[in-house]
Structure 1
Amino acid sequence: MTVFITGSSGFVGLALTEHLLARGDTVIGFDRHPPRESACRAFAALPGRFVPLTGDVRDADALEAAMRAHRPSRLVTLAAITADAQRERAMPQTIFEVNVGGVLAALHAASRSGGIGRVVHISSGSVYGESGRDHARRLVEEITPLAPEGLYGISKRAAEDAARRIAGLYGLPLTIGRLGTCFGPWEADSGVRDTLSAPLQVLECTRRGDTAILPRAHRRDWLYVRDAAAAIVALLDTPALAHDLYNLAAGFAWSVVDWCERLAARDPRIAWRIASPDDTPNIDYYAPYDRAPMDIARLVADTPFVPHFDLAHAEADFHRWLDTPT
């Protein structure tokens, strides 16, 4: 299978590419920035074939030329700007140009180049927004009201609606996956991801020898990125999907305190605490509340996906990855 991925040099893009290459697929990676050298070295050792292309996801002509040249059978739209409030104030139009316009450009290119058997558009759990404040219920596709609170979530909701409309006009087979909060291998400050995951922030802080000061315990259904990649691949592979929208999430939850305790058990020198009234936290959370978990019953029922990385397995795998020379 040949898979075309926009945003391939980003966090989830690299993890998805690695997963596909490991099983022998061909990946055409399209991104404004080339993949980091360590990723290229890791990918070269895998059985699949990786073709990195540099281009702007808003450029439909460049996307079409690349698709015509490489004839992919699947398209995954991952390119996005994950914006914080500062970026919202500085470049609101660009956020929408990439997060919405980039998706439409990719679909337009796919319709003109032909041969795409399935498009998987990666949306985000951020579309649920304020609905996530209600912990009495899980976040369920097409049931939970969408109430995004920032431009990232608003643009992702708009991209879902626009992608459905354009895919319908072009006759493209579209599936939407709402991605949960990811962490794990390949995560880094890419310039378009303004808040790194709390687990990575804690790791970086403690590896510098600093004390991690948490605003609160922060319980969430953290999604290890290897499971995220497996969930996306399940949408790519399953011959007949019963729905066009799926939550891609972990199915279980734990807190940043649990993460810190796990790290401290590995290395007793690690220091952390929950901030006192006189403290200034140095770990930045996505929101001032803990979001309700995303329901994955539909994904598990309709595809072979099963999450494998609970807290213990994720922590162990992440350290193996961090400690392996690349």
Structure 2
Amino acid sequence: MKTLVTGCSGFVGLALAELLLSQGEEVVGFDLSPVPPAALALFSALPGGFAYQQGDVRDAIALHYAMHTHRPQQLVTLAAITADTRREREASQAIFDVNVGGVLAAIGAAADCGVARVLHISSGSVYGATGRAPFSLDEARSPLAPEGLYGLSKRTAEEAALRLASLRGMPLCIGRLGTCFGPWEADSGVRDTLSAPLQLLQIARQGGTALLPRDSQRDWLYVRDAAQAIADLLAQARWQLPVYNVAAGFTWWLSQWCRRLEARHPGFRWRLAEPGEVPNVDLYADYDRASLSVQRLCEATGFVPRFDLAAADQDFHQWLACTARHEHKGAQ
């Protein structure tokens, strides 16, 4: 099976490509940003085949060229601008141009070029204010109430994607992605706020002190589990339902992550910010969003998360050590 992934140079895209390639599949990566050299080196050693096509998802001609040239059987739409309030003020149109227009351009090109189906990756941000209540967020019953332009654009993209796919007679499924962290995450220029676990890890590796606005509890999703859940959806011969939450199914506290970082990085310190102090860790909002229910996903695909907090800590630090060794060898 050959899969074209828009936004392949983002960290979820890289994790998905790595997994599919490890399974011997073919992946076509489409992104305006180049694939990191470390990822290309890893991909070349995997049994599958990887091709990269540089392009902007707003460019229908580039999308048609990529799909006509590589002839993928399926499309995964991951390209997005994950905007903070500054970008909302300064580049509001670009957010919708990429997050909505880019999705429609990709689906249109896929339909024109004979791609069989589309898995559109959306976001848990579409639930917005509904996530303020202490109830798990369910695909069928939880109202969509996005609060920022990012969430609004993702909800609009869902609705528009379903409409266009219906008009073009193309099977389409939506995966609402939870809050991810893990290997390959970096400041890509379109991801304005890095995950809190990565922010804390960066401070820990520098031997600094983290000031948290609060001890946040959330259903943090390790990116390898995110990739597996997406791959499990792709493995379904037919999607029974139009929307699935893609999330961890369990929660943990950032203080637990901090204590693990303390054990690995002796110079690291952390505490809650005192009144009037400015925190140096951004938690996205002034509340912790309720967990996304994964019952529908698990029943449909058999998905079982492999990375609890301990497993994620172990795997992430092993990946960091391995990446550092490869970068050192490459510099020699």
State the TM-score bracket (shorter-chain normalisation). over 0.9
Q: Does 1:99 align with 2:90?
A: no
After superposition, the C-alpha distances for 1:132-185 in whole angstroms (9 at most, x for unaligned) are 0001x1000021011101000000000000000000000111000000000000
1:178 to 167, 176, 179: 176
* Distance in 2 between residues matched to 1:313 and 1:138, nearest whole Å: 24
Partner of 2:112: 112
2:159 to 143, 154, 161: 161
* Distance in 2 between residues matched to 1:289 and 1:33, nearest whole Å: 32
Partner of 1:131: 130
TM-score, structure 2 length as denominator?
0.96
After superposition, the C-alpha distances for 1:213-234 in whole angstroms (9 at most, x for unaligned) are 1110010000000000001111
Structure 2 counterparts to residues 1-326 of structure 1, below 5 A = 1-114=1-114, 116-135=115-134, 137-324=135-322, 325-326=325-326
Q: Which moved more, 1:122-131 or 1:259-268?
A: 259-268
- Structure 1 letter corresponding to 2:27: V
The answer as to whether partners of 2:212 and 2:273 remain within 8 angstroms in 1 is yes
Could you list the runs of 5+ residues in structure 1 that have no partner in the other structure? none
SS in 2 for 1:323: helix
* Distance in 1 between residues matched to 2:272 and 2:46, nearest whole Å: 42
| RMSD value, Cα | 0.9
SS in 2 for 1:193: coil
The answer as to whether partners of 2:76 and 2:120 remain within 8 angstroms in 1 is yes
State, as a whole percentage, how many aligned pairs show the same letter: 60
After superposition, the C-alpha distances for 1:2-24 in whole angstroms (9 at most, x for unaligned) are 00000001111111111111111
* Distance in 2 between residues matched to 1:6 and 1:273, nearest whole Å: 39
User: Following TM superposition, by how much is the alpha carbon of 1:241 offset from its aligned partner in structure 2, in angstroms?
Assistant: 2.4
User: Following TM superposition, by how much is the alpha carbon of 1:281 offset from its aligned partner in structure 2, in angstroms?
Assistant: 0.9
The answer as to whether partners of 1:217 and 1:274 remain within 8 angstroms in 2 is yes
SS in 1 for 2:166: helix
Partner of 2:330: none
After superposition, the C-alpha distances for 1:255-291 in whole angstroms (9 at most, x for unaligned) are 1111001222334432111112243211111111011
* Distance in 1 between residues matched to 2:279 and 2:47, nearest whole Å: 44
The answer as to whether partners of 1:79 and 1:98 remain within 8 angstroms in 2 is yes
* Distance in 2 between residues matched to 1:231 and 1:8, nearest whole Å: 16
- Structure 1 letter corresponding to 2:72: P
* Distance in 1 between residues matched to 2:62 and 2:267, nearest whole Å: 51
SS in 1 for 2:64: helix
TM-score, structure 1 length as denominator?
0.98
* Distance in 1 between residues matched to 2:298 and 2:317, nearest whole Å: 28
The answer as to whether partners of 1:118 and 1:236 remain within 8 angstroms in 2 is no
Could you list the runs of 5+ residues in structure 2 that have no partner in the other structure? 327-332
